A = this chain, B = another copy of it.
Amino acid sequence: MDKRILMVILDGIGDRPVEELAGKTSLQAAETPNLDSFAKNGVNGIMDTIAPGIIPGSDTGHLALLGYDPYKVYTGRGPFEAAGIGLELEKGDIAFRCNFATLQDGKIIDRRAGRIKEGTQDLAKTINDIDLGIDFYFKESVEHRGVLIFKEKRLGSQVTDVDPHREGDEYHKAEPIVENKENKRTAEILNKFTERSHEVLYNHPINRKRTKNKKHPANIILARGAGEVPDIMPMQQKYGIKGAAIAGISLVKGVCRLVGMDIIEVKGATGGLDTNVENIIKASKKALDENDLVLVNIKGCDLLGHDGLAQEKKEFIEHIDSIIDILKDIKDTYCVITGDHSTPVSVKDHSGDPLPVTICGENVRIDNVERFDEISCAYGGLGRFKGRDLFNIMLDLADKSEKFGA
């Protein structure tokens, strides 16, 4: 039977030792009989998602894990966020991440417009009626978030953010980062868009109602993270494989969608701590029936790393461990368990520390590793390798790659 590939990406799983956990990492401190059992029955190693000491984002990290060179295809977060919320993109489109924000007396007093939850679809409709002189599209996303696309040729993507990134400041005028005609044109259009967004939102019924209810009005759109939609060869064309992904957050969905994978929506998969890990794991197993490759991203560890919560991160790992047992009996599948980057609780952000990796499946070279953690896996049969190599290793195991030479 044809072999499949399952990539279980525990977002931000890697850690550094913390005093609170008696000098162990959150992963070392966690009781993980099931993850350990995968390690015992598999071949293990440590992986630098991009390269040693390079701090991956979730976007660049997933690109590398899927066999793409992020230095070649990553053009900024905008396009990936846009793809993640389902926008159809064409190579050359310019994409921005946006916030609904609150402008008052010339200052941005709330970058998230009171974390607005309702009415953003109506506000978006109004925004899309603006006449900018070019083809553009704005789409609201979760809460105060949104995405803006300029669908015009001869535009540059190297422009500064309108978003001042802190409250109490004026919003910024977008400016070319590199001086050329294309970037200048994008900056001009973006500045016009920003002004016009305020003009059409200022007196919008939804905002009048918000003000009346003592809520911050969503009266301006602040764009940031401009990026040109990259030309990425789809996975099916590049590797001849059909892929699908399950992820809670739009950024990871966007990466997977832009490399040509189907996105499977799973009930209760929120990308938060409340995410339904059981539904996610079960859905990934089911998706293997119709795909050569399934990637599943579970976000929780990353969030707790960002918040610096060691005990909670340890417990979330134990929660995952209690469910991952479901994958033990999968047939005809090479399964890899790893992360996209480390998010040490002591750093409260991503770090360049390598990730533990366990690969299980028929006839893998079982080594002497008995535990799934950052140190134990370093003693495994895979040694240390890069994220982009992982994809080739998986293709080779699943008999999906071609010999180079004779």
A residues lining the B interface (CB < 8 Å): 16-18, 23, 25, 45-46, 48, 50-61, 70, 74, 77, 225, 251, 344, 346-347, 349-354, 362-368, 374-375, 378-386, 389-396, 399, 401-406
CA distance A213 to B402 in the complex (A): 42
Choice from B70, B350, B362, B401 contacting A53 with Cβ under 8 Å: B401
Report the separation of the CA atoms of residues A385 and B47 in the bound assembly, to the nearest whole angstrom.
Answer: 11
Contact B380 A378 (CB under 8 A): yes
Q: Using CB atoms, name the residue of chain B closest to A392.
A: B53
Check if B375 sits within 8 Å of A53, measured CB to CB: no
Known: A375-B367, A381-B378. A351 touches B396 (CB 8 A): yes
Cβ contacts under 8 Å, A386 to chain B = 52
Report the copy number of this chain in the oligomer. Answer: 2
Enumerate chain B residues within 8 angstroms of A18, measured Cβ to Cβ.
Answer: 363
Please indicate which of the listed interface residues A57, A58, A251, A406 has the most CB atoms of chain B within 10 Å of its own CB.
A406
* Besides A55-B401, A57-B403, A382-B384, 5 new A-B residue pairs in contact (Cβ under 8 A), listed by A number: A53-B394, A53-B395, A346-B363, A351-B396, A352-B401
What is the bound-complex CA distance between A391 and B25, given in angstroms? 23
Q: How far is the CA of A351 from the CA of B365 in the complex (A)?
A: 13
Cβ A56 vs Cβ B353 within 8 A = no
B56 A404 Cβ-Cβ under 8 A: yes
A391–B53 CB distance below 8 A: yes
Q: Choose among A352, A363, A374, A384 the residue with the greatest number of B CB atoms under 10 Å from its CB.
A: A363
- By a CB distance below 8 angstroms, the chain B residues around A380 are 378
> Contact check: which of B45, B251, B366 meets A406 at CB < 8 Å?
B251
**6 closest cross-chain pairs (CB), A and B:** A57-B405, A53-B392, A383-B384, A60-B405, A352-B396, A52-B389
Point out the residues of chain B lying under 8 angstroms from A389, CB to CB: 48, 51-53
Question: What are 23 pairs between A and B in contact, CB < 8 Å?
Answer: A51-B392, A52-B386, A52-B392, A53-B392, A53-B393, A54-B404, A55-B403, A56-B403, A57-B406, A58-B406, A60-B404, A61-B405, A70-B405, A74-B404, A77-B406, A344-B363, A346-B362, A352-B392, A352-B401, A367-B375, A368-B379, A374-B381, A378-B381
Inter-chain contacts of A399 with B (CB < 8 A)? 347
Q: How far is the CA of A353 from the CA of B375 in the complex (A)?
A: 23
Closest to A78 in B: B406
Which residues of B are found within 8 Å of A383, using beta-carbon distances? 45-46, 354, 378, 383-384
B404 touches A70 (CB 8 A): yes
The residues of B that contact A70 with a CB separation of less than 8 Å are 404-405
The complex places the Cα of A274 from the Cα of B55 at a distance, in Å, of 42
CA distance A366 to B353 in the complex (A): 13
Q: Please name all residues of chain B whose beta carbon is closer than 8 Å to the beta carbon of A367 when the two chains form the complex.
A: 375, 378
